[in-house]
Amino acid sequence: MRDITHKQITLRTAKAIGIIFCSQATIDKIKNNELPKGNLFDVARAAGFVGAKSTPQLLPHCHPVAIDGMNIEFEFLDASLHKENFNETILSRTGVVITGEAKSIGRTGIEMEMLTAVSVAALEIYDMLKPVDTQLEIGSIKLLEKKGGKSDRKKFFNTPPTCAVLVCSDSTAAGERQDNSGKMIQQMLSAVNANVKHYTIVPDDKEKIQQQIRIWVAEDVHFIFTTGGTGLGPRDNTVAAVKEILERDAEGIMEAIRSYGQMRTPLAMMSRGVAGSIDKTLIVTLPGSTDGARESLEAILPAVFHARKMMLGGGH
């Protein structure tokens, strides 16, 4: 199974649809409650719920997810009702349309659970109709919509944001230590289609840090990510340097970072990072360790890019 520990816990939704084709005579029996096995749709709905809950047992690579809400509805296939979902060939036939929606708050999507629910509900209907119809056929099962996780990335920015990475380290600036965290930050930003315009290394010196940040703010760089100088060491000056020049705090960003980090290591509580804006630029201070910087970005990307719209007066 794939490692999903790096993923953010978000609201995820999915909607799926499918059809079991049957004759008009069978539809008449359903409407008149004349089926030998009794009520059709209540049993099929329950079967769909059970199928969704059993998805990780049926599909080996599916992670167990908490199903926080699910609904399954049934309609008779109708060209006027279902023309957006099916082509004319399908709409010319008769059958029962199964539509399901589900919600989950977690690290991975719920689309496979919804597709399984629709499939199992269709199989249950097949089983209940087979005594009266020998031409049954299940088909057109597909995902209509999914939201949450990677699916929502585009809503956080319309155009690639411009970013700068500032490595704050005495030893790296002196050439005594190779930078790893700054380069990793560059890679992660590029992976979400951000434009990393600048990458600079400075000593962990308050004046030099502030000077470089002000240059980038004047250039209207959208986001500045610093790395290093967020700990409790005697030369950890980055947080104080940035805090002095911030015009507005963005404490929620650091709350998200610390919460995410605390679920992975108790050492996350030692970070003194800050975040906030100067003019229309957002500055976020990240730890100097590669793991700490990576986990911090995992906690806020790409949602943090929405800050640009807010700083420009666009609101939420």
What the block records as the tokens of 124 is 């249950």
Question: What residues contact residue 182 under an 8 Å CB cut-off, 6+ apart?
Answer: 165, 166, 167, 199, 201, 227
Contact 246, 210 (CB under 8 A): no
Look up 249 and say whether it is catalytic: no
* C-alpha distance across the termini of the chain, in Å: 36
Which of the residues 42, 68, 127, 205 is marked catalytic?
Answer: 127
Contact 144, 250 (CB under 8 A): no
Contact 76, 96 (CB under 8 A): yes
Read off the DSSP letter of residue 305: G
Q: What percent of the residues of the chain are helix, what percent strand, and what percent coil, each to the nearest 5?
A: 40, 25, 35
73 beta partners: 99
What does each C-alpha distance from 85 to 78, 287, 313 come to in angstroms?
A: 11, 49, 38
* Residues involved in catalysis: 127
